[in-house]
Amino acid sequence: MFFVDILETEGLGNRSHLAGGAERAVVVDPPRDIDRVIAAAARRGVRIVAVAETHVHNDYVTGGLELARLTGARYLVPAGAEVAYARVPVADGDVEPLDEGLALRAVATPGHTPHHTAYVLEEAGRPVAAFTGGSLLIGSVGRPDLVEPRLTERLAREQHASAHRLAHHLADEVAVLPTHGFGSFCSASQGGGDRSTIGAEKASNPVLAQDVDTFVKELLAGLDDVPAYYAHMGPANAGGPAPVDLTAPRRADADEIARRLAAGEWVVDLRSRVAFAAGHVAGAFNFEVDGQLATYLAWLIPWGRPVTLLAESAEDVRRAQRELARVGIDRPAAAAVGSPADWVEEGVRPASFPRAVFADLAAARRRGEDLTVVDVRRDGERAGGWIEGSVHIPLHQLPRRLAEVPAGTVWVHCAGGMRAAIAASLLDASGRAVVAVDDGYGAAADAGLALVGPTPRD
C-alpha cells in the first residue's frame, strides 16, 4: 500500500507532497522550511530516500537541496536544468525505486519551463498518482511566460502537448497532484477544487478540450501580472539555496525603529488592517500576517532592502519570518512586539487614517467632497468593470507611481480590502490624506456608485 500526504503552503498557493510505502518515501517540490517535511515523515515513520524537483521554481525558494543533504536522500532534478550543485539528473523514462513495489517514473512535460518533469508514482508497475508540478494543474496549467519572453509561445505549445501526453498515457483514476494552482501566480488561471484525477481533468480542463492554436491564443491573452520577486527565485534555486535560518531576529526599541525609517529601510506592521488604520508608526507599511504576506511584500519591496517587523506577539513575528524565508527574505533586520505606544518615540503620537465602505464613498461624492478614487486591482480585474472616474494604479506599481495620484483625499479600494490597506499605508507614509475602503467590490453597485465596463474586448 502507498500513501500520499499533502503539505500546503497556503500563502503562496503551493503544495508539496510526501509519498511512499511502509518504510521509505519521496518528497516532491519541498518548501524552504523543511522542518515541516521532516515532521511529516516522522509522523509516518518513514525514511526520506528521494527528493524530487519538477523544475527550477520561479515563485519560491526550494528546500530540496538542504533536505537531501540532511536526510542523505537522492536529489532528483531534471537533467535539462542548469544548476550549480551536484544532483541526480533525471531524464524522461528514468525510474527511481522507492519502497517495496513502489517506484517513481520521470515523464518529460516541458511547458511551464523547458526542462519541466512530472513524476508518476507506480505501485507494482501500475500508475496510481501523477505529481504534475507546474504542468497539468486542477482546471488549468502552469503559465509558460516565466522563463524568457521569446520562449513563451513555444512553451505554451509544449504545455498543451505535455498535458495531452499525461492524459493519453495515464488511466482516468490516476490522481493529479500539482504543485501550483491554489492561488499561485504560477498558474495560468485559477481553477477550482482541491483534488482531481486524470478523468476529471479530461472532463473539465480547457487544455484537454481545445486544439493547440485555440489553447495558446486564449492562454496568452489571459496571463496575469508576474510578481517582481520571481526574477530572484530562479537564480536562487539554480545556485543552491542556503539553509534557512528561523532563529528570532534582534529586538528593536522605538529609537531604533525611528532610525531605520529615517535610513529608508522598510518597517512592516503585521497587525490587522483595522488595528493599523486606528494607530501605527508613521512611515510603516501594513502587510497583514494573515493575508498574502510573502507574495505582496516580496512583490513591492526593493529587493534586498532591510525589513523590521512589528507585531502584536512573538508568534506573529515567527509566522511572518517563516513565510518570508520561503521567498528569499531570509533575515529581518529587527523586530518589535506590542502596540504602537511601544514603537513610537516619547512625545510622538501614532498616525492613523479612516476606513470606509463603498456606501461612504458614494455619500462623499454626493456631498461634492474633493477626493480621488484609486483602484489598485490588477489589469485583469479592472477589465471587468470599474468605478466611474477612478484612477487605476495596480498595487504592485503604486510605489513607483505615487506622484501620479491626483491631489485631494485619496479613497483607495481593491476587490476586498487587503490590498487597499497595503496601498493606504503606502499613501499614508508618503504624506497623503487617505481613506481605506474595506469592502467587497460587489458592494460598489449596491451603494449607487456609477460603474463602467466591462471593456468591449471582454
Asked whether the predicted pLDDT for residue 457 surpasses 80, the reply is no
The larger pLDDT score, comparing residue 312 to residue 189, is at: 312
Residue-wise pLDDT tens digits, 234-293: 999 999 999 999 999 999 999 999 999 999 999 999 999 999 999 999 999 999 999 899
Q: What is the mean pLDDT of residues 130-143?
A: 96
Q: What percent of the chain has pLDDT over 90?
A: 93
Distances (CA, A) of 145 to 118, 151, 238: 19, 7, 18
- Which pLDDT score is estimated for 191? 62
Can you read off the three cell numbers belonging to residue 138?
A: 486542477
Asked whether the predicted pLDDT for residue 454 surpasses 80, the reply is no
Residue-wise pLDDT tens digits, 153-178: 999 999 999 999 999 999 999 999 99
Is the Cβ–Cβ distance between 286 and 425 less than 8 Å? yes
Is the Cβ–Cβ distance between 253 and 211 less than 8 Å? no
Taking phi first (over 0 means left), then psi (-120 to 50 degrees means alpha), and beta for anything else, what does residue 209 get?
alpha
What is the reported pTM?
A: 0.93
Amino acid at 72: G
- Which pLDDT score is estimated for 183? 80
Confidence band, pLDDT 50/70/90 cuts, at residue 456: very low
**Best CA proximity match to 50, nearest among 96, 106, 108, 115:** 96
Can you read off the three cell numbers belonging to residue 332?
A: 529581518
Element (H, E) at 35: helix 35-44
Residue-wise pLDDT tens digits, 344-371: 999 999 999 999 999 999 999 999 999 9
Asked whether the predicted pLDDT for residue 458 surpasses 70, the reply is no
- Which pLDDT score is estimated for 192? 62
